Structure 1
Amino acid sequence: MTVATKPWFVYLVRAANGALYCGVSDDPQRRFAVHQSGRGARFFNSSPAVALVYVEACAGKGAALSRERTIKRLGKPAKERLVAGWQVAEAL
């Protein structure tokens, strides 16, 4: 019997100043609500979270953490391309 792995996600949140925050969670919508409330990451102390702009499903927590490291190494233009591609896919 195989135990189903809990899905994990890597996500990007846009701050009011336009900056992008990358994180992982098993529930990105709930985590975004925590960021909006001013808790969860010091990143949002200077500029509040305004939108969940990218969510990517991963095979598990380890895969999500690995993908998070990869995304954090990207420059802002590459992150913006991820966001733009995800928004197009969501619209379809």
Structure 2
Amino acid sequence: MATKQYFFYVLLCADQTLYGGYSTDVFRRFKAHQAGKGAKYTRVKRRHPLKLIYYETFSTKSAALKAEYAFKHQSRAKKERYLAEHGIQLS
């Protein structure tokens, strides 16, 4: 039996904002965001196109949700530092 995976992911929006989210299927969720059926934040047309720039896998839902919460409650500078620590450069 396969172990269920949980994901924390980050999207880079066309307006250069960052969106962090949680999913059990990161690629299906990204397609939903791209189709305008994701979160309210990513439905706004000026935020498109979207780019999936980072995702991390967790073995528990709780851990993935904690990662999402922590990311969303940081300043832009701290979010960029977090991404840089994981090999993602925005500029």
Shorter-chain TM-score: which interval? 0.7 to 0.9
The Cα of 1:81 is off from its aligned counterpart by 2.4
Query: Structure 1 residues 55, 81: CA separation in 2 closer, same or farther (over 3 Å shift)?
Result: same
Name the structure 2 match of 1:79.
79
The Cα of 1:61 is off from its aligned counterpart by 0.9
- The gaps in structure 2 that reach 5 residues or longer are none
Q: How do 1:37-76 residues align onto structure 2 when only pairs under 5 Å count? A: 37-46=35-44, 47-76=47-76
RMSD of Structure 2 on Structure 1 (CA):
1.8
- Tell me the SS of whatever aligns to 1:6: coil
Letter in 2 for 1:78: K
Q: Identity of paired residues, percent?
A: 37
Output one character per residue of 1:33-59: Cα deviation in whole Å (capped at 9) or x when no partner.
Answer: 110111111101322242001111112
Deviates most, 45-54 or 30-39? 45-54
1:35 to 7, 18, 33: 33
TM-score under structure 1 length normalisation: 0.80
Count of residue correspondences: 86
- Displacement over 4 Å in runs of 4+: none
Name the structure 2 match of 1:24.
22
The Cα of 1:26 is off from its aligned counterpart by 1.2
Asked whether the equivalents of residues 10 and 18 of structure 2 are also in contact (C-alpha less than 8 Å), the reply is: yes
Asked whether the equivalents of residues 53 and 83 of structure 1 are also in contact (C-alpha less than 8 Å), the reply is: no
